Amino acid sequence: MGEVIPVTMKKEGGSSSSIKCPMLTSSNYTVWAMRMKITLKVHKVWEVIETESVNGDKNDLATALLFQSIPEALILQVGDLDTAYKVWDAIKLRHMGAERVREARLQTLMAEFDQLQMKDSEKIDDFAGKLSEISSKSTALGVNIEEPKLVRKFLKCLPRKKYIQIVASLEQVLDLNNTGFEDIIGRLKAYEERVSEETEVEEEKGKLMYANSESQKYQSNQSDNGGSTARIFVSCSKKHKVENDETQNADELMMHELVFLNEKNVVPEKFETNA
C-alpha cells in the first residue's frame, strides 16, 4: 500500500501525538484517498477541501499533510497550486485514469478466479500455485482475497471423481472459516500421494496378471502344436512305410520278369527241353 509517513500533531496543553499519513503510489489511490480523508478530519482540516475554503492556517496545514503523502514527482506538478482543495482535486484527476485501469484489471482477474478449474491430470501444487498467483495480483491491485474464500474455491475446483472422499471429510471435520490455505494444501498433497501409491500398486498387479495370462496362453498353444506335430509325424511314418513296401514289391516283380524273359539265355538246355 506504500510507505506510511508519521505526522506529529500538537494538542492543547503542549502534548503531541503522531498520526501516520499513507504514501500515495501508482496503484493505491482509492485506499490512499480514504485514509487521507480520515487523517485530515483528525487534524480538523478536512473542511477546507470539502467546502473549498481558503482559510489560511487550516489550508496550510491540509496542504502540508497532502504534500507529506505524495511522491516528489507529483509535488513538482501540483506545487504551484494555492489551496488544499486544488491540490486534492489535481491528485484525483491524475489518478482517476489509473484507477479505471486498476478496476478493469481487477474485474478480469476476478473472472479468471471464478472460472478456474483443476484438471484431472493436474497436481495439487500446480493448481495451488495458480490460486496463489491470482491472490497476489489481486492484493497488488488493492483487493485482498481472504483465506476462507481461497480454501472454499480450492475444494470446489477439485475433480470430484478423484477427490470427492477427501473433500467430504474435510468439510465435515474442519471449520473452513478458520482453516488456513496452506493447511488445506498440505492435507490434499498427503491424500494425493496416497492415491498415487495405490494406483501404482494396482497397475503393477494388472501387469502381473496380464503377463501370467499370456504365459498360460503360450503354454497351451505349445501343447496343442506338439500334439499336432506328433500326429503328423506318425502319419508321415506310416505313409513312408507303405511306400517303401510297395516299392520293394514292384522291384521284386520286375526282377522276376527279367529272369523269366532271359531264362533261355541263362539255361539253354532247360529251355530246349521245355520247348
pLDDT on residue 221: 65
Confidence of residue 86 (pLDDT cuts 50, 70, 90): very high
Phi, psi of 205, rounded to the nearest 5 degrees: -65, -40
Per-residue pLDDT reduced to its tens digit, 29-45: 888 998 999 999 999 99
Domain map of the chain by residue range? 4-102, 116-243
| pLDDT score recorded for residue 41 | 93
| 45-51 contacts at long range (C-beta below 8 A, 24 or more positions apart) | 45/84, 48/83, 48/84, 48/85, 49/84, 49/85, 49/88
Q: What is the pLDDT of residue 107?
A: 93
pLDDT band at 200 (very low <50, low <70, confident <90, very high): low
| Pick from 26, 24, 16, 21: nearest CA to 6 | 21
